């Protein structure tokens, strides 16, 4: 219980408490404004040290406690789905060789064809591409000349050509350097492409000429369109087949695309960042366009068709069975409610003229000539005067008397 005497004692001591608080405040301010070296030499405690301890003086928890604290886990980055591995099938010794020649795009096409025919032991893809080659720099690599030795060495069943992406440069024609796609440049370029087609034709090997795709640079894309026309003409002139891959690497408006559908219709990246090279999916798509005509030349089943299983080696060959006689099925034809035969008429109205009736008949005279037949004597319609006497052959009415 607080008494009056205790209250008076507190009031008397209040000035002393106020003075002590002022002294502490002055000491603290002097500590804040003292030089830095004086604070470093002083090892005592001040009000600032109590309120704002230095970082080195803060008490840190033990290391084992710090390690026991749960650390925030970083979310792992999603990994792209792993592509299924293509089974490696050993090629047969007598496997048919597909020789792929051309520039760096031909090398990518060969990789795509290798994946396409990886499970077929009867087809072997051989790539003899030269990445920096073309028709313009024949001093670096002359394809019409080199193709002859390549065919003699590899003995291919089919040759696949994809060439031209490096040809947007000056060409030396005689002693003059002609600008790309000028008149003289184009004539010489057509001559060189024609020479390659003729060299393959002379070797009596069927060949496919794969066209160029679109590129990111618009000028390069327009040049590739002009080149494709030249390649198409050279292929057809020498018994080859031109394979157009343009639609696989453009959108619906015909513009270059970096990403697009793969061979399964799934959206993938088809081209690299430079807008020139093709990715693995793009290489497989190039091969997709070449697969069907290539299988046709090789006599293989078209992709997606049903293949027949051949008999094992050494099995007796059975004679072909005669074809079974066709089964005759007696079917009742369906009845049409609108069939004219149902109401007895099989001809349309007015199709045939009706047979003419005898004009001497009384009915015909009445309807056609308007002449009524002569009335029988004594009948109600007999208006002759004097009245005629009815004969025995006339119609009479016998009265019945009762």
**Interval 2-13: pLDDT, tens:** 565 665 666 565
> In terms of residue numbers, what domain contains 18?
8-52
Confidence of residue 302 (pLDDT cuts 50, 70, 90): low
Is residue 83 domain-resident?
A: no
Are 38 and 113 members of one domain?
Answer: no
94: tokens are: 């007598």
pLDDT (0 to 100) of residue 61: 62
Are 33 and 151 members of one domain?
Answer: no
Domain final residue, candidates 298, 324, 339: 298
**Pair 183, 171: CB distance under 8 Å:** no
pLDDT (0 to 100) of residue 126: 97
pLDDT (0 to 100) of residue 369: 73
User: What's the mean pLDDT when you consider all of the chain?
Assistant: 78
Are 207 and 269 members of one domain?
Answer: yes
117: tokens are: 């025919």
Q: Does residue 348 carry a pLDDT above 80?
A: no
The least confident of 14-28, 143-157, 227-241, 242-256 is 14-28
pLDDT (0 to 100) of residue 237: 96
Are 272 and 125 members of one domain?
Answer: yes
Are 193 and 256 members of one domain?
Answer: yes
Provide the CATH number for the domain around residue 234.
Answer: 3.40.50.1110
pLDDT (0 to 100) of residue 58: 55
Is residue 348 domain-resident?
A: no
Are 47 and 151 members of one domain?
Answer: no
Are 131 and 186 members of one domain?
Answer: yes
Are 140 and 275 members of one domain?
Answer: yes
At 343 the three-state DSSP class reads: helix
Is residue 25 domain-resident?
A: yes
Total Cβ atoms within 10 A of residue 358? 7
Average pLDDT over residues 337-357: 60
Q: Are strands 207-210 and 158-162 parallel, antiparallel or unpaired?
A: parallel
Q: Does residue 172 carry a pLDDT above 50?
A: yes
Average pLDDT over residues 53-67: 60
**Pair 162, 135: CB distance under 8 Å:** no
pLDDT (0 to 100) of residue 373: 72
Are 102 and 170 members of one domain?
Answer: yes
Is residue 82 domain-resident?
A: no
Is pLDDT larger for residue 36 or for residue 78? 78
Are 177 and 29 members of one domain?
Answer: no
Distance (Å, whole) CA 388 – CA 382: 9
**Pair 250, 256: CB distance under 8 Å:** yes
Q: Does residue 175 carry a pLDDT above 80?
A: yes
Indicate the number of domains in the chain. Answer: 2
pLDDT (0 to 100) of residue 335: 56
Are 43 and 171 members of one domain?
Answer: no
Q: Does residue 42 carry a pLDDT above 50?
A: no
pLDDT (0 to 100) of residue 385: 76
114 backbone dihedrals φ, ψ, rounded to 5°: -65, -40
Is residue 340 domain-resident?
A: no
Distance (Å, whole) CA 185 – CA 179: 7
Q: Does residue 55 carry a pLDDT above 70?
A: no
Query: Which burial class, exposed, middle or buried, applies to 194 when counting CB atoms under 10 A from its CB (0-12, 13-18, 19+)?
Result: middle
Are 17 and 113 members of one domain?
Answer: no
* pLDDT-above-90 percentage for the chain: 52
Domain final residue, candidates 298, 331, 349: 298
Domain final residue, candidates 256, 272, 298: 298
pLDDT (0 to 100) of residue 46: 60
Confidence of residue 305 (pLDDT cuts 50, 70, 90): very low
Is residue 67 domain-resident?
A: no
**Closest listed residue to residue 111, CA positions, set 317, 284, 310, 335:** 284
Distance (Å, whole) CA 106 – CA 112: 10
Is residue 331 domain-resident?
A: no
Average pLDDT over residues 290-308: 74
Largest CA distance in the chain: 180
Is residue 307 domain-resident?
A: no
């Amino acid at each position: 219980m607080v008494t009056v005497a205790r209250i008076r004692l507190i009031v008397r001591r209040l000035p002393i408490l106020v003075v002590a608080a002022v002294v502490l405040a002055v000491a603290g301010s002097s500590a804040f404004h003292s030089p830095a070296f004086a604070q470093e030499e002083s090892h005592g405690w001040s009000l600032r040290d109590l309120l704002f301890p230095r970082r080195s003086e803060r008490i840190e928890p033990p290391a084992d406690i710090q390690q026991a604290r749960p650390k925030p886990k970083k979310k792992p980055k999603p990994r792209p789905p792993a592509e299924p591995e293509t089974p490696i099938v050993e090629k047969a010794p007598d496997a048919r060789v597909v020789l792929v020649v051309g520039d760096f795009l031909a090398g990518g096409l060969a990789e795509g064809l290798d994946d396409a025919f990886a499970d077929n032991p009867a087809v072997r893809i051989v790539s003899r591409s030269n990445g920096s080659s073309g028709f313009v720099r024949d001093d670096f690599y002359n394809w019409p000349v080199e193709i002859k030795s390549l065919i003699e060495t590899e003995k291919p069943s089919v040759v696949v050509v994809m060439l031209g992406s490096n040809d947007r440069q000056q060409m030396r024609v005689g002693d003059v350097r002609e600008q790309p796609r000028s008149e003289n440049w184009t004539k010489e370029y057509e001559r060189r492409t024609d020479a390659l087609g003729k060299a393959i034709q002379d070797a009596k090997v069927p060949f496919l000429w794969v066209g160029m795709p679109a590129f990111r640079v618009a000028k390069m894309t327009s040049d590739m369109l002009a080149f494709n026309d030249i390649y198409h003409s050279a292929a057809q002139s020498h018994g080859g087949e031109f394979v157009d891959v343009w639609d696989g690497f453009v959108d619906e408006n015909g513009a270059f695309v970096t990403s697009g559908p793969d061979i399964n219709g799934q959206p993938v990246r088809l081209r690299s960042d430079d807008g020139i090279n093709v990715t693995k999916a793009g290489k497989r798509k190039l091969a997709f366009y070449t697969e069907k005509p290539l299988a046709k030349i090789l006599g293989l089943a078209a992709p997606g068709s049903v293949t027949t299983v051949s008999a094992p080696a050494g099995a007796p060959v059975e004679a072909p069975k005669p074809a079974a006689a066709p089964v005759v099925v007696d079917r009742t034809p369906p009845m049409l409610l609108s069939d004219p035969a149902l109401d007895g008429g099989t001809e349309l109205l007015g199709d045939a003229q009706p047979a003419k009736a005898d004009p001497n008949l009384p009915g015909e005279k009445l309807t056609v000539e308007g002449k009524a037949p002569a009335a029988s004597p004594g009948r109600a319609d007999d208006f002759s005067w004097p009245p005629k006497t009815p004969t025995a052959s006339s119609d009479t009415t016998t009265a019945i008397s009762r």
